[in-house]
Chains A and B, each alone.
Chain A
Amino acid sequence: MSKRIGMEIALAAAEAVALCRPDVIAAYPITPNTHIPEHLSDIVAEGRLDADFICVESEHSAMSACCGASGTGARAFTATSSQGLAYMSEVVPIVSSMRLPVVMIVGNRALSGPINIWNDQSDIMYQRDCGWISLFADNGQEVIDMAIQAFKIAEHRDVMLPVNLNLDGFQLTHVVEPMEMPDQKEVDAFLPTYKPFAALHPDNIVSMGTLALPEIFNETAKVKDEVLKDSRKVILEVWKEWEERFGRKYEPIISHKARGADILLLTLGSMGETAEVAVEEMRKEGVSVGLLKLKLWRPFPFEELRKELKGCKALVVLDRAVSYGGPGGPVFSEVRSAMYDQAERPLIINEIIGLGGRDVPVSDFRKIIEKAAQALKTKPKEEYEIFGVRGS
């Protein structure tokens, strides 16, 4: 039976991962996600989890050790943020091309420089093209649920891809929330023992990580792309099963009163919960506004996005990262590209908010919604805006 708990979300994430019975955990501390590997090592030390916790000497080695462990057929897990993710980024695309189902939790934190330990999404946006399945959690419950789902999705024989689960650093990692924690029996029933497609062992000889000449590389790229796109089917199946077992529904994009609204906000991560408050307030005041919360970032949910945007007049995409000198926020540029060919598409505006942990209160979201309403009358001059910059 699931238990109702009140716990720091990072600790709850560790508990949820422990329920999945990982075999090897290799992680390096980095604020703000340190509590996740710390708590996992506590759980191992307490004898509650039979796993090998490798105190690696860097994040690059953390991801490398996960590759090695996953190659032998062990269930491997790591967690990191920001600079750690950047440091391991040499290995990150290799994991997906080697089809190793490693699960990683990223406590989203700003990428340096300047150095900043607080929350934004620039670290994961920097890894956009890595070929991993990418999920975003808005609150503690989603963190627990998606951490457990991640293993099942990754290890599915039709997928065999690594998964990263993103939660906002400090905003979620260090926040205490009431959540439902499933019990070991429920998770065991949902998530069976990992049966690898191939494993390093002398009884069945395999070479992993071979060299691909130009004559074959294009085909390998096609495979990587198609497999990631096709994983959507499995993700939806897993979410359906989750709903049947645990009663909580997950979709690639969760709509909050978006149907029929003129103005829509699109958020990733915990800012969605603050946006929701602003949306509710302004709806009461008669503004036609709704909210879309993106849960599935890769593979990109083209179908769901286009469906949700039917009839929308203005869409504000809220980014927490900037592609400097480029088309603004990464989510914005992808959404705009996804909508480009549609016969009907809304005015798409980009507001880049909350960089480096800058607080974005409800009042800022209200301003953003008002600006969107104004934009319907006079189109904004700039491609995108970094919201709330003093002096601009």
Chain B
Amino acid sequence: MEKKKKWPEDWQDLNPGCMVFNPGSAREYHTGSWRAERPIFDESRCIQCGVCYIFCPEGCISQKSNGCFEADLDYCKGCGICAHECWPKAIKMIEEG
């Protein structure tokens, strides 16, 4: 599969003033590659309070259909805030293998 070219091939393809018309396009860059640790969510302990969702600087934690939460590993940088703030200790950080 051809990888999407990051930079325009031609200087004439640049947007005037380097304006970006694609809101949220930063998502193309997967910051998950930075991780040294990743969060593991223990649903048996989760009380569905949403604290992890609130405190994630990446905004990559979302609520699943069963009410518990999960981190989008494409973006999770492994900072450990969710594990540290989780009340019932339902999140554990384990080393990225």
Contacts and interface: CB of A to CB of B under 8 A. Distances in A.
Interface of A: 97-100, 160, 197-198, 205-210, 212, 215-216, 218-220, 222-223
A207 B25 CA distance: 11
Contacts, number: 47
B19 interface: yes
Contacts of B19: 198, 206-208, 210
A348 B81 CA distance: 70
A100 B18 CA distance: 12
- What are the 5 closest A-B residue pairs judged by CB atoms, nearest first? A219-B11, A99-B17, A98-B17, A205-B23, A207-B20
B6 to A, nearest CB: 8
Interface in B8-23: 8, 11-12, 14, 16-21, 23
A223 B12 CA distance: 7
B11 A223 contact: yes
B29 interface: no
B20 A99 contact: no
A206 B11 contact: no
A215 B14 CA distance: 12
Given A205-B23, A207-B23, A97 B17 contact: yes
Given A222-B11, A223-B11, A212 B18 contact: yes
A216 B23 contact: no
A219 B11 CA distance: 5
Contacts of A99: 16-17
A219 B14 contact: yes
Interface string B60-89: 000000000000000000000000000000
Nearest to A211: B18
A160 B21 CA distance: 17
9 contacts: A99-B17, A100-B17, A160-B16, A160-B17, A205-B23, A207-B23, A209-B18, A210-B18, A220-B18
Contacts of B20: 206-207, 210
Contacts of B18: 97-98, 209-210, 212, 216, 220
Contacts of A100: 17
Nearest to B13: A219
Given A97-B18, A160-B17, A218-B11, 12 more contacts: A160-B16, A198-B16, A206-B19, A207-B23, A212-B18, A215-B7, A216-B7, A220-B11, A220-B18, A223-B11, A223-B12, A223-B16
A218 B8 CA distance: 12
A90 to B, nearest CB: 17
A219 B23 contact: no
B56 to A, nearest CB: 22
Contacts of A210: 18-20
Contacts of B11: 218-220, 222-223
A112 B52 CA distance: 58
Given A215-B7, A216-B7, A223 B23 contact: no
Interface-centre pick from B7, B17, B20 (highest chain A CB count, 10 A): B17
Contacts of A219: 8, 11, 14
